[in-house]
C-alpha cells in the first residue's frame, strides 16, 4: 500500500507541476499583451491517512486562479480613444459580432483597457472586435438617469464622423461702457451703435443691433441726466424692434456709473408693437424674442459693475459674450477622467455624446475570463453595479493610455526553474518506486 501510494503521489506531483508550467508559459507568452491578467497556480497537499497504522502518501493537487484584481502599468499612446481604467472598476464592452446581430441589446462584457477607433459604421471598436459601450446623452447634452444594477441602458458607442453640428444662441452678456459726458447739457448727444451676432436654430448667422441714445438736460443749469434709451432690433425680422428700455445710471461716490433703474418702454410700431419684455433688477436679465426664439440678455443688475456702465467719456464694448455656434464639421473625440465622451467640431463646439460608466463587482477574481482580456460576472464575482468613473469605489478613465500585462517575466522564469526541478524530482520518485517494485518481483526468482 505504501509503495503504491508513493507511485500515485509522484504521478500527482508530475500532473501538478505540469499544470503550473502551463500557467507560467501562458503568462510569459502574454507578457506583451495589453490588459492581460497573470494566472497563478498554487499547490494543495492531500492527506489520505491521519495517524496510526501504515502511512499512505496523498500527493498534491493544483489550484489555478487568474488575478484579475491586479493592475498593470499604464503607458501613454497617441490615440485619444486608447482607454485604460486607473484603479478599481472595468469598462463595459460588447462583441462586435453580437452588436451586428443584436444591436443595442448586445450582452455586456468587461475589460480594463482597449484601443478603440471608429469602424465603417461608426462604432468605437478595438482590433480584437470589442465595441465600447456607454450611456447616450440626451439632445440637451445631459446624461439621463439610468439603472445602475443592470446593463439595459448601455448602448454601443456609435459616432457619426460625418455629422454637422450647430448650436443656437440662447444667452448673451453685454459688458458695455457708455460715455457719461454725453448726458450733460450741450454735449453732441451722439447715438452709440453696436451689433451682436447670434446663431439661429439652423446655425445661420444673424444679429441683434443695439442703439444707445442719451437724454440731454433741458437747461444749462440742469445736471447731467445719466439717462439713455436702449433699442434692440433683429436682423432676421428685417430690423424690427424687439425691445426698448430707458436706463438710468447712478451718479454717487459709491457704485457710481452702475445701473440704478431700467424701465421698459412700449415698442411703437412693427410686428412686435406693444410692451417690451420685462427686466429683472436682481438678476440683470431680460429675454427678447428673435425670429428663432427667445434669447436671454444679461445687461447687469442694479449696482452690478459687470454689465452696462456709464463712466468717463468713451463708448467701449468691454466684454460682449454669447453662446451658440455656426454649423461645424466633426474633427475628433475626447474622453475625460469621468468617462464623458465629447465630440469636437471645427467651430470650437464641444458636445457631450456618451458617458462611459465603470462596472464594479465585490470579487473581481471571481469573474469568468474569456478571450481578448474580457470578463463576465458570475455568482462567484457577485452582482455588478454601474458607477460614475471617479465615484464610489471605482477609479477613473485615462485616455491616451493602455494598461500593460501584469506578467513579471523575471519572476515567471524563476518559477519555471523551480517547477522544472520539482517535476524532475517527482519523476525520480516514480523511477525509484519502479526499481523497488522490480526488486519485489525478483524475490520470486
Domain range 169-323, CATH class:
mainly beta
- The three grid cell numbers given for residue 83, joined into one nine-digit string: 482607454
Q: Where are the domains of the chain?
A: 2-67+406-442, 74-165+328-403, 169-323
Tell me if 309 sits within 8 A of 177, measured CB to CB: yes
Pairwise CA distance, residues 196 & 200, whole Å: 13
Given a cut of 60, is residue 97 above it in pLDDT?
Answer: yes
- Per the model's pLDDT, the better-predicted residue between 426 and 242 turns out to be 242
Rounded mean pLDDT, 120-133? 94
Given a cut of 90, is residue 95 above it in pLDDT?
Answer: yes
* Chain segment 353-362, per-residue pLDDT in tens: 999 999 999 9
Pairwise CA distance, residues 232 & 22, whole Å: 79
Rounded mean pLDDT, 41-55? 74
- Per the model's pLDDT, the better-predicted residue between 53 and 323 turns out to be 323
The sign of the dihedral angle between the CA atoms of 337, 338, 340, 345 is: negative
Pairwise CA distance, residues 224 & 216, whole Å: 7
How many residues belong to the chain?
445
* Chain segment 297-323, per-residue pLDDT in tens: 999 999 998 899 999 878 999 999 999
Given a cut of 80, is residue 380 above it in pLDDT?
Answer: yes
Task: Give the pLDDT band (50/70/90) at residue 431.
Answer: confident
Pairwise CA distance, residues 58 & 49, whole Å: 8
- Per the model's pLDDT, the better-predicted residue between 49 and 228 turns out to be 228
Rounded mean pLDDT, 214-220? 91
Pairwise CA distance, residues 411 & 405, whole Å: 14
Cβ atoms within 10 Å of 37's Cβ, excluding its own: 26
Helix (H) or strand (E) holding 16, with range, is helix 2-29
Rounded mean pLDDT, 58-69? 87
pLDDT of residue 345: 86
pLDDT of residue 231: 97
Task: Give the pLDDT band (50/70/90) at residue 438.
Answer: confident
Tell me if 98 sits within 8 A of 137, measured CB to CB: no
Cβ atoms within 10 Å of 258's Cβ, excluding its own: 21
Given a cut of 80, is residue 164 above it in pLDDT?
Answer: no
- Per the model's pLDDT, the better-predicted residue between 30 and 4 turns out to be 30
* Chain segment 221-238, per-residue pLDDT in tens: 899 999 999 999 999 999
Pairwise CA distance, residues 287 & 172, whole Å: 10
pLDDT of residue 52: 61
Amino acid at each position: 500500500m505504501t509503495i503504491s501510494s508513493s507511485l500515485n503521489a509522484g504521478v500527482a506531483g508530475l500532473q501538478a507541476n505540469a499544470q503550473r508550467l502551463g500557467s507560467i508559459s501562458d503568462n510569459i507568452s502574454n507578457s506583451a499583451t495589453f490588459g492581460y491578467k497573470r494566472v497563478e497556480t498554487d499547490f494543495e497537499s492531500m492527506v489520505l491517512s491521519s495517524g496510526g497504522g501504515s502511512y499512505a502518501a496523498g500527493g498534491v493537487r493544483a489550484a489555478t486562479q487568474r488575478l484579475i484584481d491586479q493592475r498593470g502599468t499604464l503607458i501613454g499612446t497617441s490615440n485619444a480613444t486608447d482607454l485604460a481604467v486607473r484603479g478599481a472598476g472595468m469598462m463595459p464592452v460588447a462583441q462586435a459580432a453580437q452588436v451586428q446581430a443584436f444591436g443595442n441589446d448586445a450582452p455586456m462584457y468587461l475589460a480594463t483597457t482597449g484601443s478603440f477607433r471608429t469602424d465603417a459604421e461608426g462604432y468605437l471598436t478595438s482590433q480584437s472586435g470589442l465595441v465600447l459601450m456607454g450611456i447616450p446623452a440626451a439632445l440637451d447634452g445631459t446624461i439621463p438617469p439610468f439603472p445602475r444594477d443592470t446593463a439595459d441602458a448601455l448602448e454601443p458607442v456609435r459616432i457619426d464622423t460625418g455629422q454637422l453640428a450647430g448650436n443656437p444662441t440662447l444667452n448673451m452678456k453685454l459688458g458695455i461702457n457708455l460715455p457719461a459726458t454725453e448726458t450733460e447739457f450741450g454735449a453732441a448727444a451722439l447715438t452709440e451703435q453696436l451689433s451682436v451676432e447670434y446663431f439661429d436654430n439652423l446655425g445661420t448667422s444673424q444679429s441683434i443691433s443695439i442703439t444707445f441714445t442719451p437724454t440731454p438736460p433741458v437747461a444749462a443749469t440742469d445736471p447731467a441726466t445719466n439717462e439713455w434709451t436702449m433699442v434692440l432690433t433683429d436682423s432676421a425680422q428685417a430690423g424690427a424692434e424687439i425691445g426698448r428700455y430707458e436706463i438710468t445710471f447712478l451718479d454717487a461716490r459709491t457704485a457710481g456709473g452702475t445701473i440704478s433703474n431700467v424701465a421698459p418702454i412700449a415698442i411703437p410700431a412693427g410686428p412686435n408693437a406693444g410692451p417690451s419684455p420685462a427686466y429683472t433688477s436682481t438678476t440683470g436679465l431680460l429675454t427678447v424674442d428673435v425670429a428663432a426664439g427667445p434669447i436671454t440678455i444679461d445687461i447687469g443688475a442694479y449696482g452690478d459693475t459687470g454689465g452696462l456702465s456709464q463712466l468717463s467719456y468713451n463708448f467701449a464694448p468691454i466684454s460682449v459674450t454669447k453662446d451658440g455656434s455656426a454649423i461645424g464639421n466633426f474633427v475628433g473625440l475626447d474622453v475625460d477622467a469621468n468617462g464623458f465622451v465629447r465630440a469636437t467640431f471645427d467651430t470650437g463646439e464641444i458636445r457631450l455624446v456618451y458617458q462611459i460608466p465603470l462596472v464594479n463587482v465585490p470579487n473581481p477574481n471571481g469573474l469568468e475570463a474569456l478571450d481578448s482580456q474580457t470578463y463576465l460576472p458570475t455568482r462567484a464575482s457577485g452582482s455588478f453595479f454601474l458607477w460614475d468613473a471617479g465615484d464610489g469605489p471605482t477609479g477613473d478613465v485615462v485616455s491616451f493610455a493602455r494598461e500593460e500585462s501584469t506578467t513579471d517575466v523575471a519572476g515567471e522564469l524563476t518559477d519555471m526553474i523551480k517547477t522544472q526541478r520539482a517535476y524532475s524530482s517527482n519523476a525520480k520518485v516514480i523511477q525509484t518506486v519502479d526499481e523497488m517494485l522490480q526488486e519485489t518481483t525478483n524475490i520470486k526468482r
